[in-house]
Structure 1
């Protein structure tokens, strides 16, 4: 029997189904034929079996309209956007017999999940998003679980394969769509990915996207601080070693926004973000840093200073540039200057030139500043660590009491005197080494001896009383001639033996007069780089070549 025309016209309707206040004029037989839910109504003790209200129906009016069409044997359009809703609707209405709506939508769902391995994850995310308004039923029939497992499997492969499909797994297109899923499901997705060893870099990129979307949504449509704090914490604390995980995956702008939001909402993850900002301190632009309050910046700096990889020069530059920018904006006060400038350890700041420049700007814009305030500001500056040019400018401008300049000038003189003394000692030491080099004339000669039937050349010094001046000098007949010369090798005095070979490139053997043994060197012979060890005793291998020293193909042990 053809039911289509009755579905379209509502003619001879004998049952009214209400979904979200919308009435559907339908017929019992097509519904009973497909749905065990409606079939059970016949046997129930309902007073009015001709009027049925479906509460919390998955997908609402739009999806029930498709289900009704299916019951009337009409073709319906199934897509990644509605397959989860149709599958849940089939479960709700008990349309689970073979070939019914449940099995057909389940088959379509499996095709979507499987084909994502070879194409793109976008349809999987669309299915996942379609579960958002379905409530617990989507979890009960494991649609969300299947989507999560499919996404995680793809993320694992993205680290193992360099294919278009693998790259698509963590593309912005995929991650941007994941932003729309509820945070509770995203947390479950993140936990599954972490427990199945998805790479930390992938976890960081995924989590970073979601966190930033929460922050942006808060700016546009604010929610209560407690709710946002819970959402942020639920993500951060599921990341393994959150700081290291995020450090290479997020931008400095992301860190600034996340830190400010965590501070406003008093999140537990605030300490993670402070540590992260401390590690990334050198990467921030001054425009980004001036978005932070002085107190918040000082907290970041304290975390940076506590790091084992802290670079004092970088931290000092950040603080001084921050104060300079506030002074340019004319928002710097004496209280902020003193508090921020003194938040670093005393010995961190090697040069106070920029800090002194900030004090000058502060004096010009500070209005009626008391003498006590001026003195407190000047005490922050260590005038002994000012350059000569800055001291001269301070004297010429006349904004600093002469006593500060005098003390600094005396300290500068002391520093210069120490530098001159150091330079003098260095010159004397170099002169001594030069004289030593000129006097290196007492060489020993190598001699041939027999050792277990092998030819050995003995290059031990004849005497160890003056070892520095005694080095090996080996001679051999043509076609090799060896000439002893003095040279500075890597800024150290050495004696070189230059071997002129009739075949191949020259080889330089470097002898160290400052060690009991001769040093290991690299040589080039016949255009090939080779390495050998010269020691107190150097063995000569049997060879048909008529020159010595012989360069072996392998290192020799003595």
Structure 2
């Protein structure tokens, strides 16, 4: 048997050259098959029934008694069929919605004529559906097409992961019938069972080739059987990278084949499908956080649903300690936001992190001082974000303040990062009022600044006077504690040391003692310098007080004798709970120290 093509009014034609003229035409899609009745009727119950009905109608149309009993409409249709039959001299059958299109029917025709057909994973699925559609069962004819395709799928397809994926791809064109026959389910089960026998990366790449409806079916099946959440998450990540370009900032090269790129609506549907199937628990994959931020940026650009974005924000919040500063810098894509970066988004993610931290606080790892490592990592991350956005001229002081105080005190061991952010903000916003400056500086705890930060803050002209005085006071306390600790360490012998010094230990101890004395002298000198600086500030404040008092006397009516001058205290003015005498550089003890050094 051979087949040839020639042009007809109905499109392409397929002929069976067996030496006998064709006695039936079967039209599938745009292809007309010129075949013989007997081979088709011997294998297919449905074709046998259709051909018999066609012959019966043709015979009835030639009987005048039957034709007079029919209505006018039916008579007209039968006249058309009669004319078509007379023109072609044999019946014509059109198969609507044939599974697998004309290619599958061509293989069916070859099978009916006894020609050997080569099956593959891609062709066996539509051929199995076509055999079901044509009712080519074992009861009707032994060794029929249904049993042949079933054996091939069981022995050659379902046992191989790669072949099962190819068969699953072929299920898309015949999805309703393939699902009802259980072919789709068998392919999915084969994929799950053979996952351990192949390379994981190749497994993810093969699944990424599936269409979205078939891929959704696979994911739902995985979730129903409690498969590892990491496996499901990795599978979703691989699929998103394949079909949504530009998720990761490091991979934003335009695709070489723009025709295969998904449209904006298709990308939105893929993104929402992936987001809805992401496991909500914390992932053990470190690279997931950056991928989630990429999904979130894409969701904002594609204007995905609020539910989709909220799920991504919650998922990111559950593992925020794994994020980097670059991840948090999400641009403001909406014209409603005045700032360069989306600060409101970071506030919402941080809120989700704190909520999740409370939920897992009972089982979370906590250090001896009650600090959570995750919380401290996020504190450092937020301080870096504050320093990055502080230079934005459109950033309101209220928004900066709210984000800075959103973290609890345990999140920061030192406030140096927060001080840096405050300094950058004051430098970029010189027009803020003194009241706003004091409020912004109030987010810092001066007791948690290191000596380096205290030294810088004491000389920072952008800070309000109250903050400078507080910094100087706590810097003095730190120096005192450092001196006391050094003296105690030098004077108290180690328990492991013996009562009698070993040979040469006296010289070593003497050298250590001299070094300690020199360090103490340097520390005392620094303390004297700070006292002098504080004393200078006190004098400036006193002069300011006198000037204000003179202005009040000039501008106000004469006061009575009984009026008392207003009391003025630097401790009340600047909120410092210490006596000014502590910082007085004219104390006798300080003079004695200086006289000794001289």
TMscore range, shorter length: 0.5 to 0.7
Matched, 1:19 2:48: no
CA contact (8 A) 2:243 2:262 kept: no
Change (3 A) 1:403 1:133: same
CA contact (8 A) 2:290 2:327 kept: yes
Aligned to 1:189: 218
Aligned to 1:221: 263
CA contact (8 A) 2:236 2:274 kept: no
Of Structure 1 and Structure 2, which has the larger fraction of its residues in strand? 1
Aligned to 1:54: 95
Aligned to 1:100: 144
Aligned to 1:356: 419
Aligned to 1:248: 285
CA contact (8 A) 2:391 2:428 kept: no
Change (3 A) 1:220 1:345: farther
CA distance in 1: counterparts of 2:471 and 2:272, whole angstroms = 54
CA contact (8 A) 1:4 1:74 kept: no
Aligned to 1:205: 234
C-alpha distance after superposition, 1:391-439 (max 9, x if no partner): 33344452223332111111222344345556666677x549579x759
Shift of residue 91, structure 1, vs aligned partner? 0.9
Shift of residue 150, structure 1, vs aligned partner? 1.6
Look up the SS of the partner of 1:351 in the other structure: coil
Q: How does 1:295-314 map to 2 (within 5 A)?
A: 295-306=344-355, 307=357, 308=361, 309=364, 310-311=372-373, 312-314=375-377
TM-score (norm 1): 0.64
C-alpha distance after superposition, 1:119-154 (max 9, x if no partner): xx1111101111012132101211112112222222
Look up the SS of the partner of 1:324 in the other structure: helix
CA distance in 1: counterparts of 2:287 and 2:456, whole angstroms = 43
Aligned to 1:257: 294
CA contact (8 A) 2:240 2:271 kept: no
Matched, 1:178 2:207: yes
CA contact (8 A) 2:158 2:164 kept: no
CA distance in 2: counterparts of 1:124 and 1:216, whole angstroms = 27
Aligned to 1:111: 155
Q: Which moved more, 1:211-220 or 1:256-265?
A: 211-220
Q: How does 1:31-42 map to 2 (within 5 A)?
A: 31-42=40-51
Shift of residue 195, structure 1, vs aligned partner? 5.1
Change (3 A) 1:217 1:65: farther
Look up the SS of the partner of 1:78 in the other structure: coil
> Which residue of 316, 325, 329 corresponds with 1:290?
329
Shift of residue 366, structure 1, vs aligned partner? 3.8
Look up the SS of the partner of 1:317 in the other structure: helix
Look up the SS of the partner of 1:243 in the other structure: coil
C-alpha distance after superposition, 1:295-348 (max 9, x if no partner): 222233233334234423211110111223335687755454223222212443
Shift of residue 367, structure 1, vs aligned partner? 6.9
Look up the SS of the partner of 1:380 in the other structure: coil
CA distance in 2: counterparts of 1:387 and 1:177, whole angstroms = 55
> Which residue of 184, 187, 192 corresponds with 1:152?
192
CA contact (8 A) 1:122 1:173 kept: no
Change (3 A) 1:362 1:23: farther
Matched, 1:80 2:121: yes
CA distance in 2: counterparts of 1:250 and 1:389, whole angstroms = 36
Aligned to 1:379: 442
Q: How does 1:335-484 map to 2 (within 5 A)?
A: 335-366=398-429, 368-371=431-434, 373-421=436-484, 430-431=492-493, 438=499
CA contact (8 A) 2:222 2:232 kept: yes
CA distance in 2: counterparts of 1:331 and 1:9, whole angstroms = 81
Aligned to 1:235: 277
Change (3 A) 1:337 1:21: same
CA contact (8 A) 1:333 1:366 kept: no
CA distance in 2: counterparts of 1:66 and 1:175, whole angstroms = 33
C-alpha distance after superposition, 1:360-392 (max 9, x if no partner): 333444475455554443333334433333333
Q: Which moved more, 1:183-192 or 1:381-390?
A: 183-192
Q: Which structure has the bigger radius of gyration?
A: 2
CA distance in 2: counterparts of 1:105 and 1:250, whole angstroms = 43
CA contact (8 A) 1:80 1:126 kept: yes
Unaligned stretches of 5+ residues in structure 1: 159-165, 440-558
Aligned to 1:533: none
Shift of residue 248, structure 1, vs aligned partner? 2.6
CA distance in 2: counterparts of 1:140 and 1:125, whole angstroms = 18
CA contact (8 A) 2:272 2:304 kept: no
Change (3 A) 1:331 1:374: same
CA distance in 2: counterparts of 1:59 and 1:371, whole angstroms = 77
Change (3 A) 1:17 1:374: farther
Look up the SS of the partner of 2:235 in the other structure: helix
CA contact (8 A) 1:7 1:72 kept: no
Change (3 A) 1:432 1:7: closer
Shift of residue 40, structure 1, vs aligned partner? 0.7
> Which residue of 25, 28, 40 corresponds with 2:37?
28
C-alpha distance after superposition, 1:84-124 (max 9, x if no partner): 111111111122233222222211111224542xxxx1111
Of Structure 1 and Structure 2, which has the larger fraction of its residues in helix? 2
